[in-house]
Amino acid sequence: MARFAVLIYAADSAHAPDASAEDLAEPDGHAEELLAADAMLTAYAFTPRRYAVSVRRDGATPGPFVDAEHVVAGVYVLEAADLDEAVRVAATNPVVRSGGGVEVRPVHSGGVIRAPRG
């Protein structure tokens, strides 16, 4: 089985520090479906764009690296037989129905380097 990164593009992330269970019901429900299907290996939900800091050669500035209608709101890694299967699974992401989208990219290499501290 191959690994595929799924980048989630949305107007913003629902995962604000003060987000309620109701705010997160749809994305968390989708994650639970992927876990039940044994398809998702890892996932990271990002906080809203207002928490981003972009770092470039001339310093750091508040905000996302690219100020666009949609920003990367999160990423997860799927295990699938091939790209076609990964695309089919990724297309079930609720952000697709709500006007955002996902990008599916084969993972070349890498993985968890160490467990988080604390």
pLDDT of residue 29: 95
Which domain, by its residues, includes 61? 2-106
Residue 111 placed within a domain? no
> Is the torsion defined by CA of 51, 23, 89, 11 positive or negative?
negative
Cα distance between residue 79 and residue 97, in whole Å: 23
What is the distance between the alpha carbons of residues 22 and 30, in angstroms, rounded to a whole number?
Answer: 14
> Cβ contacts of residue 66 below 8 Å, gap of 6+?
none
Q: Provide the number of structural domains found in the chain.
A: 1
- pLDDT band for position 61 (50/70/90)? very high
Residues in the chain: 118
Residue 67 maps to a domain: yes
| Assigned domain for 19 exists | yes
Decide: pTM greater than 0.75. yes
What proportion of the chain, given as a percentage, has pLDDT over 70? 100
Query: Is 116 a domain residue?
Result: no
Hey, what amino acid is at 107?
V
